[in-house]
Amino acid sequence: DGGITQSPKYLFRKEGQNVTLSCEQNLNHDAMYWYRQDPGQGLRLIYYSQIVNDFQKGDIAEGYSVSREKKESFPLTVTSAQKNPTAFYLCASSRPEAGPGGYTFGSGTRLTVV
Amino acid sequence: GDSVTQMEGPVTLSEEAFLTINCTYTATGYPSLFWYVQYPGEGLQLLLKATKADDKGSNKGFEATYRKETTSFHLEKGSVQVSDSAVYFCALTHYNTDKLIFGTGTRLQVFP
């Protein structure tokens, strides 16, 4: 079955370290997204990519970086510059030509800074 | 900019009670509107959507009607079940951007 795989499910990071969250999809979707979820704040867009080798900043891109070298993969790196990285991170993909908002979400990665 | 406002939770109900979760939006033009549901420890799933004014989205007993005159998209269900306990997100997107803008989410707790 097609879907989005995020790994790992839980991740612990020491302060000052970079860490990379994986997101892979086999839906043949062109667009991919990274959201951050904090209690009481809903989901906020970090980065998005509408096509391979291209991506744009979302609302809270500072302290994060992404790459989109393959259609199937959109990894997110949380750098040491991100001051408060502990959160739940969700990856999503969509096929815009199929109509608005048809997002498929992964099951998320919970990152904790220790 | 565009935004979505949801009622604060948690909403606590007994099984078989009627559910309403309010959602209003601010947007230019004619956005598409969505309700997503998130079960504990999981990602979001699309529950229903409406793409133009007066459209009614429905799924699994849930309904929401796109009301442009009141800029609202309230979620309703006639008889909730314990298994409906989750966080519900209202969202909007414009067709030409396909970026979703979410509300803060409303937690629903249903007790037997």
The string of pLDDT tens digits covering residues A19-38 is: 999 999 999 999 999 999 99
The pLDDT score that the predictor gives to residue A23 is 97
Count of CB pairs separated by less than 8 Å, A with B = 60
Q: Where are the beta strands (DSSP E) in chain B?
A: 3-6, 11-14, 19-21, 23-26, 32-38, 44-50, 56-59, 62-65, 75-77, 86-93, 101-102, 106-111
The string of pLDDT tens digits covering residues B26-52 is: 998 889 999 999 998 888 999 999 999
Share of chain B above pLDDT 70, in %: 97
Whether A102 and chain B come into contact, CB under 8 Å, resolves to: yes
The string of pLDDT tens digits covering residues A42-59 is: 899 999 999 999 999 999
pLDDT band at A114 (very low <50, low <70, confident <90, very high): confident
Give the SS3 label for residue A20.
strand
Q: Which residue of B has its CA nearest to A46?
A: B99
Partner residue facing A101 (CB), from B42, B100, B105: B100
